[in-house]
A and B are shown apart, each in its own frame.
Chain A
């Protein structure tokens, strides 16, 4: 009898992090069936074969190295500096995932020290990180945090030996070809240029005034819902563009405008065409969109 095939071995390494991707991953509703197929050689919270000390000494081979958190060369994990630890683990890994915006592009922690902190392949959108030479085997899952289903999708593809199609920033097209605007429940309002006017309502589009970056942010937050039930825009919160290398921008709850037109256009839309379209759409007054959807709360 042939022995059971070896489980897919994963090392989960943390750089400069808040642990948000770790806790996001724990929300995966099908974590149990995933864990049947994989084995964590090291994970910071889940049971794993090695301690951190053992990991940094043994530098095991793995099928997948998941890196959570931003990179800084002299940052230490388990007494080892990232400058040595990360390339060593990466060289012995078949695949690598940069999980979340910190590992992908530098993220929020990069703001503290922009010269020395970066993602593992990308520094913002420049491929100058420590693993730039290995970029072919690195998949970026931008997002602050990354959605658990984004990670389990990628692991599933690897388990099934399928190739993941990537965009120009190394993100799976399956997840990032969409914009956050896709599937947003406020799209009616966007089409007819009806602004939400205020926070705390489910009516109106958040792109015109409230800073929503959904129309030009790659991500499937409104396709694969958060915690199975929601998304930022569904809860009335603007999208902050957290999957992009530009995250975090500044002045996040206000739309920058030029002559009262949003200065950043929906993805792929030329400003001139947008102006023509917006002018026409605004001339409609659709009563349905100017009223509360459900006005009897009692």
Chain B
């Protein structure tokens, strides 16, 4: 039987065409994204710095990642054309602080607004809106705004640095907000201190956690989904940031990843049917996002449970939650070591003198984000983006399925498959840029 299911309460909306057997078990799932917006074409012909204003508007929840990808692409174009563009350590750190804050708010919203609610719905339980989580997410955004001016949609990164010039006032405000966020994650998300969390090595200990993270894992277990949702076991990280480098993992083999092996496949793009292109690495579907990043950075608890359970739904969830702890640790280190005496911005040569191609790669909340542009004497000639959910939600065939497709095949029901789909933190907004 074929059923078309509208998937709501993601970023945007998606349709999944499920093929099920008599018992309702999912045999195939074709994912469709409906809303194409043409952002790349909007950018072509514009002044390169306009990309710093337009590109963040691709996505209201990870626009900051788009900003950083855009500015790094322009900086790469400088270098490619032989011009120098310098960046102080301070500017790099500030960009990372705001980027990590964006990841943090995304993960909080995913846990509380989407996953806890959807799992409760499947269990037929009440799930009141956790306003405490929205408050915490808005604190993460406030932390970013101290440096970036606002969240969503800031344009504070420029080739050569950042526009802000923080002083001790911003640093003290940032540390206060950070302490509040750390307290929230310890008390509400984990239900234990970071110190205790770091001693955890087993999946059982994670599910026993008293916080909302433990509750989600328990819900997933009660739904019988903990050990389902396995995909290809191939992982990819293309962006680099503190604690994370570019790498491809295939089973037990790890190798440095090369963006030259990335390709896009538009065979699934049919006018009016779906607007999302497949993103492939060495011609195959690879999973990107927190689980890939955790395996690359060698974060111990995720490594251990992945070893024991593979790329299951619960391990995927655990990786996104564990990343929150890692992000907080990194934000604290970056803020505490920020050298305010360094310049925020080092003016590069005028962009009107630059002709060249550049690529910016960023680890966004949902995975690797790539912007590529070509500039001719201060004008954008070509602009191309590959967004994180394109990797995970690519549409293959029943024989050679995409990452999320494979995770859904075999699910007992369409509802359970849709839940597994959400473990990837779905975004149709950026996918159909």
List residues of chain A with CB under 8 Å of any chain B CB: 14, 16-24, 26-29, 31-32, 35, 44-47, 51-53, 75-79, 108-109, 111-113, 144-145, 198-202, 221, 226-237, 240, 248, 250-254, 294, 297-298
Contact = CB atoms under 8 A, between A and B. Distances in A.
Contacts of B57: 18, 20, 108, 144
Interface in B135-159: 135, 137-138, 141-142, 144-156, 158
Contacts of A221: 150
B60 A21 contact: yes
B83 interface: no
Overall SS of chain A's interface: loop
Given A16-B37, A47-B129, A297-B167, A23 B345 contact: no
A232 B8 contact: no
B188 interface: no
A298 B341 contact: yes
A175 to B, nearest CB: 16
Contact of B131 (A32, A51, A254): A32
A200 B164 CA distance: 5
Contacts of A23: 60-61, 152
30 contacts: A18-B59, A20-B60, A21-B60, A23-B60, A26-B137, A26-B138, A27-B137, A29-B135, A35-B131, A46-B113, A112-B37, A112-B38, A145-B152, A199-B344, A227-B138, A228-B142, A229-B142, A229-B145, A230-B149, A231-B149, A235-B147, A235-B149, A236-B162, A236-B163, A250-B46, A251-B50, A252-B49, A252-B53, A253-B50, A253-B52
Given A16-B35, A298-B341, A234 B429 contact: no
B117 interface: yes
Given A17-B60, A75-B35, A252-B47, A237 B149 contact: yes
Contacts of B11: 19
Interface in B37-58: 37-39, 41-42, 46-47, 49-50, 52-54, 57-58
A77 to B, nearest CB: 7
B147 A229 contact: no
B6 interface: yes
B303 interface: no
B109 interface: yes
Contact of B63 (A14, A20, A32, A76): A20
B4 to A, nearest CB: 9
A31 B37 CA distance: 30
B150 A232 contact: yes
Given A108-B57, A109-B37, 4 more contacts: A28-B138, A199-B345, A226-B150, A240-B53
B13 A52 contact: yes
A248 B53 CA distance: 9
Contact of B134 (A31, A201, A229): A31
Given A112-B42, A237-B155, A250 B50 contact: yes
A22 B60 contact: yes
Given A18-B63, A294-B167, A235 B156 contact: yes
Contacts of A228: 142
Given A46-B129, A145-B153, A236 B138 contact: no
Nearest to A232: B149
B12 interface: yes
Contacts of B109: 26, 45
Contacts of B147: 235
A201 B164 CA distance: 6
A234 B149 contact: yes
Contact of B163 (A32, A112, A237): A237
B81 interface: no
A252 B34 contact: no
B161 interface: yes
Contacts of A252: 47, 49-50, 52-53, 155
A251 B129 CA distance: 43
Contact of B148 (A19, A35, A235): A235
A53 B13 CA distance: 11
B273 interface: no
Contacts of B9: 44-45
B233 interface: no
Nearest to A47: B129
A178 B259 CA distance: 48
A29 B244 CA distance: 33
B151 A227 contact: yes
A144 B53 CA distance: 10
A230 B173 CA distance: 12
B165 interface: yes
A44 B6 CA distance: 13
A230 B146 contact: yes
B6 A251 contact: no
A200 B37 contact: no
Contacts of B191: none
A265 B61 CA distance: 35
B256 interface: no
Residue of A47, A199, A201, A231 most packed against chain B (CB within 10 A): A199
Contact of B6 (A28, A78, A199, A200): A78
Contacts of A32: 131
Contact of B344 (A19, A35, A200, A251): A200
B347 interface: yes
A77 B142 contact: no
A35 B129 contact: yes
A44 B173 CA distance: 32
A44 B35 CA distance: 15
Contacts of B148: 230, 235, 237
Contacts of A233: 149
B211 interface: no
A73 B397 CA distance: 33
Contacts of A250: 46-47, 50
A200 B429 contact: no
A19 B60 contact: yes
B345 A108 contact: no
A229 B60 contact: no
A35 B46 CA distance: 42
Given A78-B13, A108-B57, A198 B345 contact: yes
B340 interface: yes
A29 B138 contact: yes
A226 B149 contact: yes
B60 A200 contact: no
Contact of A112 (B41, B63, B158): B41
Nearest to A102: B57
A251 B149 contact: no
A230 B150 contact: yes
